[in-house]
Amino acid sequence: MKLTEVKKILTEISRGMMEIVFPAEPVCPVCREEPALGRGLGRKCLNRIALIVPPICSICGRMLRVHQASVSKCLECSGTEYYFSQARAVALYDGALREYLSEVKYRYRPDLGIALGELMVEWLKANPKYGKFDLIIPVPIHPQKMAIRGYNQAELLAIPLQKHLGIPIKNDIIIRCRFTETQNALDRESRFSNVNKAFQAVQAGALAGKRVLLIDDIMTTGATASEVSRTLLRAGALDVKLLTLAAGVIDKQWLHPEVKGKF
Ligand SMILES: [Zn+2]
Ligand SMILES: [Zn+2]
């Protein structure tokens, strides 16, 4: 290979590197085609996020199907006692939001995590009656995961919320003391036993009488958030409400009774 060719290749590589580090024009991280709005998604992908809309379960905030609209609790909450008093999520964990979150979790994009937190601020602005809070606590991740990922995504989401609510984020009150198996592959029952006693309050005094806004990226069964809430209540918190960016769909609950038998 001639020297000029080598030089050309090196120039191309360094230009590519520069574009990764300092993108000329921020591009939407999901479709990689349209321009990004601020640090976030492009308009097209933003519109593809399926927001959670009423009717919802009064406890866990999951969307109720039309045939459940006359009840206030979903099937899940009728059979489960959660330690948080209420939970709400901004959107369904699906499509563009799913891709967006995986960028944050697996491709080191802390800027996107903070941008996603803005969606949660918008939700709180639209739902000011959700509650009054003294503290924001992001669901902790295990130090081992923290070391791999470089940050706790729930903490990133909490940053814009802190600004909006004017209350502190506390990430040193509760720790994840047990490395738990990833919940994805587990069924509902195992998810609850998997996180049992996984958290520990290390500054109990700081929680006395406090109303906590617990923040996480995704709620699926609610097992993790409930276990954190249990730990917070045992350490003296007055109340815990959960706000997540996304909520997973629990399939069976979404099925119409007439088709349920097929699954
Ligand atoms: Zn896009
Ligand atoms: Zn529910």
**From the CA of 78, how far away is ligand 2's center (Å)?**
7
What local confidence, expressed as pLDDT, does residue 17 receive?
A: 54
- 32 φ, ψ (degrees, to nearest 5): 55, 30
- Residue in this structure with the two tokens 């814009």, named with its chain if needed: 160
Distance 74 CA to ligand 2 centre (A): 4
d(CA 152, CA 117): 13
The tens place of each residue's pLDDT in the chain, 263 residues long, gives 666 666 666 555 555 554 555 555 688 989 999 998 877 889 999 999 999 988 888 999 988 876 656 778 887 888 888 999 999 999 999 889 999 999 999 999 999 999 999 999 999 999 999 999 999 999 999 988 899 999 999 999 999 999 999 999 999 999 998 777 666 666 776 777 777 778 999 987 899 999 999 999 999 889 999 999 999 999 999 999 999 999 987 555 556 667 766 66
Ligand with an atom nearest the CA of residue 59: 2
Confidence at residue 6, expressed as pLDDT on a 0 to 100 scale: 62
Q: Which ligand is nearest to the CA of 32?
A: 1
Q: Which backbone phi and psi does 187 adopt, to 5 degrees?
A: -80, 175
Residues near ion ligand 1 (CB < 5 Å) are: 28, 30-31, 34, 42, 45
90 φ/ψ angles, rounded to the nearest 5 degrees = -80, -45
3-state secondary structure of 56: strand
How far is residue 88's CA from residue 52's CA, in Å, rounded to a whole number?
9
DSSP state of 66: G
| Residue 236: predicted pLDDT | 95
Q: State the alpha helices, DSSP H only, in the chain.
A: 3-21, 43-47, 75-79, 95-106, 110-126, 143-149, 153-165, 188-194, 223-234, 251-254, 257-260
β-strands 135-138, 86-92: how paired?
Answer: unpaired
Q: Closest Cα partner for 99 from 49, 37, 61? A: 49
Tally of CB atoms within 10 A around 140: 23
How many residues belong to the chain? 263
Q: Are 223 and 191 in contact (CB under 8 A)?
A: yes
Give the ligand at the shortest distance from the Cα of 95.
1
Q: Which residue has the tokens 């000011």?
A: 128
Q: What's the pTM value of the predicted model, to 2 decimals?
A: 0.83
CA of 18 to the centre of ligand 1 (A): 22
In this structure, which ligand is nearest to the CA of 84?
A: 2
Could you tell me the domains of the chain?
1-48 (no CATH), 83-260 (3.40.50.2020)
Distance 131 CA to ligand 2 centre (A): 18
Ligand at minimal distance from the CA of 75 is 2
pLDDT score at 219: 93
Cα(115) to ligand 1 centroid in Å equals: 14
Residues with Cβ < 8 Å from 51, sequence gap 6 or more?
Answer: 90, 91, 92
3-state secondary structure of 217: strand
